[in-house]
Chains A and B, each alone.
Chain A
Amino acid sequence: MTNAVFDKAAGAASDARGQADADVPAAAAGSAPGADGKHRPALGKKLKIRSMVSVAGEVLPFFWPMRNFIHHNPLHGLEHLPFEDAVAEATRLFHARGWLPRPAYQRMLADGAMQPDDLAAEIDAFVATWLADQDDDGDAAHGEVAALLRELLLAMMTATSQPSPGDREPCAEEVLACLRRGGQG
Chain B
Amino acid sequence: MSAGTAPLGTQPLAEQLGRDLTLYDAADQLFGTRIGETLNELLIKGLMDFFDEGQSVWRMPGRKQGLFLAWANIARRNRRLRMRGLDVAAILDQADEPEAMIDLVMNRLGVPEHRWMSYVTVELSRLHGWAGFVRWRAQAAHYYWQQRNPADLTDYLAVRLVLGLALLEDAGRRLRRDLRWPALLDFAAAHPRECVLRRELNAGTVLPDFAHRIEVALDSGDPARIDALYLVYEREKTTREACTRARRVETMAAAAGLDREALLGRDDDALHQIIDGIYAAKAHEGMLWTRSLERAHLRSLLARIDAAAGEEAGAMPTAPASGETPAGPAGPVQALFCIDVRSERLRRHLEAVGDYETFGIAGFFGIPIAFVEFGKGHETALCPAVVTPKNVAVEMPHTHAKHADSLFDLAHEVVHDLKNTVLAPYVTVEAVGLLFGFDMVGKTFAPRAYNTWRQRLETRKPPARLLFDKLSEDEARELVANLQDEMVVRAVERHFAVKREHLTSPMIRELRETALEHRKGQTELARRFGVDPAGEAVFIRSLQVEYRVNPDQARIQLEHLAKIGFRPQRQAQLVGAALRGIGLTAGFGRTVLVVGHGSTSENNPYESALDCGACGGDQGLVNARIFAAMANRREVRQLLTEQGIDIPAETHFIPALHDTTTDEIRLADIDELPPTALTRVDRIREDLTAAGRLTAAERCRELGESGISSPEAAARRVKRHALDWTQVRPEWGLSKNAAFVIGRRALTRRLDLDGRSFLHSYDYRVDPKGRLLETILTGPLIVAQWINLEHFFSVVDNEAFGSGSKVYHNVVGRFGVVTGNLSDLRTGLPAQTMLRGHVPYHQPMRLVTVIEAPLALVEALLAKLYKPRELVHNGWIRLVVLDPETGQAQVYDPEHGERDAWQPQPIRLPA
Chain A interface (Cβ < 8 Å from any Cβ of B): 1-2, 5-6, 8-10, 12-14, 16-17, 19-20, 23-24, 26-28, 31, 37-41, 45-46, 49-50, 52-57, 59-76, 79-84, 86-87, 92-100, 102, 104-105, 107-108, 113-115, 118-119, 121-123, 125-127, 129-131, 134, 137, 141, 144-145, 148-149, 151-160, 163, 166-180, 183-185
| Given A73-B790, A119-B292, A156-B278: A151 touches B258 (CB 8 Å cut-off) | yes
Q: Which of A70, A96, A100, A118 contacts B800 (CB 8 A)?
A: A96
User: Are B125 and A69 interface neighbours, CB within 8 A?
Assistant: no
| Residues on the A chain within 8 Å of B246, using CB | 175, 178-179, 183
SS class, residues of chain B in contact with chain A = helix
User: Are B99 and A46 interface neighbours, CB within 8 A?
Assistant: yes
Q: Which of B17, B154, B608 contacts A49 (CB 8 A)?
A: B154
User: Are A145 and B273 interface neighbours, CB within 8 A?
Assistant: yes
In the complex, how many angstroms separate the beta carbon of B736 from the nearest chain A beta carbon?
10
Q: Which 3 A-B pairs have the closest CB atoms?
A: A99-B286, A96-B800, A171-B4
Bound form: Cα–Cα A4–B374 in Å: 73
| Residues on the B chain within 8 Å of A180, using CB | 264
Bound form: Cα–Cα A108–B861 in Å: 36
17 CB contacts below 8 A, A to B, read: A16-B17, A19-B112, A20-B111, A20-B181, A41-B103, A56-B121, A57-B124, A64-B617, A70-B616, A74-B801, A92-B20, A99-B844, A113-B843, A130-B280, A141-B270, A152-B278, A175-B249
User: Are A20 and B5 interface neighbours, CB within 8 A?
Assistant: no
| Given A41-B103, A55-B117, A156-B252: A122 touches B288 (CB 8 Å cut-off) | yes
Of A55, A80, A156, most B-chain CB atoms within 10 Å = A156
| Residues on the A chain within 8 Å of B189, using CB | 9-10, 13-14
Bound form: Cα–Cα A54–B154 in Å: 8
Bound form: Cα–Cα A151–B277 in Å: 12
| Residues on the B chain within 8 Å of A144, using CB | 270
| Residues on the B chain within 8 Å of A137, using CB | 269, 273
Stretch at the interface among B213-221, B421-429, B531-539, B791-799: B791-799
| Given A168-B9, A170-B238: A74 touches B828 (CB 8 Å cut-off) | yes
In the complex, how many angstroms separate the beta carbon of B835 from the nearest chain A beta carbon?
10
| Contacts of B597-618 to chain A: CB distance below 8 A | 605-606, 608-609, 611, 613, 616-618
Is B245 engaged at the interface, CB distance under 8 Å to the other chain?
Answer: yes
| Contacts of B311-342 to chain A: CB distance below 8 A | none
Is B243 engaged at the interface, CB distance under 8 Å to the other chain?
Answer: yes
| Residues on the B chain within 8 Å of A148, using CB | 258, 266, 270, 274
Bound form: Cα–Cα A63–B205 in Å: 34
In the complex, how many angstroms separate the beta carbon of B907 from the nearest chain A beta carbon?
19
| Residues on the B chain within 8 Å of A184, using CB | 243
User: Are A27 and B113 interface neighbours, CB within 8 A?
Assistant: yes
| Residues on the A chain within 8 Å of B232, using CB | none
Q: Which residue of A lies closest to B290 (CB)?
A: A99
| Contacts of B571-629 to chain A: CB distance below 8 A | 605-606, 608-609, 611, 613, 616-618
Q: Which of B9, B94, B111, B613 contacts A71 (CB 8 A)?
A: B613
In the complex, how many angstroms separate the beta carbon of A88 from the nearest chain B beta carbon?
9
User: Are A23 and B271 interface neighbours, CB within 8 A?
Assistant: no
Bound form: Cα–Cα A41–B99 in Å: 8
Is B787 engaged at the interface, CB distance under 8 Å to the other chain?
Answer: yes
Stretch at the interface among B129-137, B458-466, B702-710, B740-748: B129-137
User: Are A71 and B295 interface neighbours, CB within 8 A?
Assistant: no
Bound form: Cα–Cα A42–B7 in Å: 46
User: Are B613 and A70 interface neighbours, CB within 8 A?
Assistant: yes
Q: Which of A5, A16, A152, A153 contacts B7 (CB 8 A)?
A: A5
User: Are B100 and A39 interface neighbours, CB within 8 A?
Assistant: yes
Q: Which of B3, B17, B95, B153 contacts A172 (CB 8 A)?
A: B3
| Given A9-B14, A9-B188, A84-B287: A71 touches B278 (CB 8 Å cut-off) | no
User: Are A160 and B248 interface neighbours, CB within 8 A?
Assistant: yes
Bound form: Cα–Cα A100–B127 in Å: 23
User: Are A20 and B280 interface neighbours, CB within 8 A?
Assistant: no
User: Are A94 and B800 interface neighbours, CB within 8 A?
Assistant: yes
Q: Which residue of A lies closest to B257 (CB)?
A: A151
Bound form: Cα–Cα A155–B278 in Å: 11
| Residues on the A chain within 8 Å of B15, using CB | 9, 12
Bound form: Cα–Cα A68–B111 in Å: 40
User: Are A68 and B617 interface neighbours, CB within 8 A?
Assistant: yes
User: Are B154 and A12 interface neighbours, CB within 8 A?
Assistant: no
Q: CB-defined interface of B241-274 with A at 8 Å, one 1/0 digit per residue?
A: 1111111111111011110000010101111111
Is B276 engaged at the interface, CB distance under 8 Å to the other chain?
Answer: yes
User: Are A163 and B3 interface neighbours, CB within 8 A?
Assistant: no
Bound form: Cα–Cα A2–B783 in Å: 51
| Residues on the B chain within 8 Å of A171, using CB | 2-5
Is B520 engaged at the interface, CB distance under 8 Å to the other chain?
Answer: no
User: Are B186 and A60 interface neighbours, CB within 8 A?
Assistant: no
Q: Which residue of A lies closest to B734 (CB)?
A: A71
| Residues on the B chain within 8 Å of A39, using CB | 94-95, 100-101, 103-104
Is B182 engaged at the interface, CB distance under 8 Å to the other chain?
Answer: yes
| Residues on the A chain within 8 Å of B110, using CB | 20, 24
Q: Which of B154, B286, B616 contacts A50 (CB 8 A)?
A: B154
User: Are A83 and B238 interface neighbours, CB within 8 A?
Assistant: no
Q: Which of A62, A92, A166 contacts B241 (CB 8 A)?
A: A166
In the complex, how many angstroms separate the beta carbon of B75 from the nearest chain A beta carbon?
16
User: Are A169 and B4 interface neighbours, CB within 8 A?
Assistant: yes
| Residues on the B chain within 8 Å of A46, using CB | 97, 99-100, 103
| Residues on the A chain within 8 Å of B895, using CB | 125, 129
User: Are B113 and A23 interface neighbours, CB within 8 A?
Assistant: yes
| Residues on the B chain within 8 Å of A160, using CB | 248, 251-252, 255
User: Are A19 and B14 interface neighbours, CB within 8 A?
Assistant: no
User: Are B243 and A183 interface neighbours, CB within 8 A?
Assistant: yes
Is B299 engaged at the interface, CB distance under 8 Å to the other chain?
Answer: yes
User: Are A16 and B120 interface neighbours, CB within 8 A?
Assistant: no
Is B846 engaged at the interface, CB distance under 8 Å to the other chain?
Answer: yes
User: Are A12 and B800 interface neighbours, CB within 8 A?
Assistant: no
User: Are A57 and B131 interface neighbours, CB within 8 A?
Assistant: yes
User: Are A175 and B277 interface neighbours, CB within 8 A?
Assistant: no
User: Are A23 and B273 interface neighbours, CB within 8 A?
Assistant: no
Is B8 engaged at the interface, CB distance under 8 Å to the other chain?
Answer: yes
Q: Which of A5, A45, A130 contacts B5 (CB 8 A)?
A: A5
User: Are A37 and B94 interface neighbours, CB within 8 A?
Assistant: yes
User: Are B112 and A20 interface neighbours, CB within 8 A?
Assistant: yes
Bound form: Cα–Cα A185–B236 in Å: 9
| Given A39-B103, A81-B874, A160-B248: A179 touches B271 (CB 8 Å cut-off) | yes
Q: CB-defined interface of B792-821 with A at 8 Å, one 1/0 digit per residue?
A: 010111011100000000000011110000
Other than the given A39-B101, A114-B292, A155-B256, 4 more pairs (CB < 8 A) read A55-B117, A68-B616, A82-B875, A167-B9
Is B401 engaged at the interface, CB distance under 8 Å to the other chain?
Answer: no
| Given A152-B274, A176-B272: A63 touches B133 (CB 8 Å cut-off) | yes
Is B66 engaged at the interface, CB distance under 8 Å to the other chain?
Answer: no
| Residues on the A chain within 8 Å of B257, using CB | 151
| Residues on the B chain within 8 Å of A172, using CB | 2-4, 272, 275-276, 279
Is B116 engaged at the interface, CB distance under 8 Å to the other chain?
Answer: yes
| Residues on the A chain within 8 Å of B272, using CB | 172-173, 176
Q: Which of B239, B289, B290 contacts A178 (CB 8 A)?
A: B239
Q: Which residue of B lies closest to A82 (CB)?
A: B874
| Residues on the B chain within 8 Å of A5, using CB | 5-7, 12
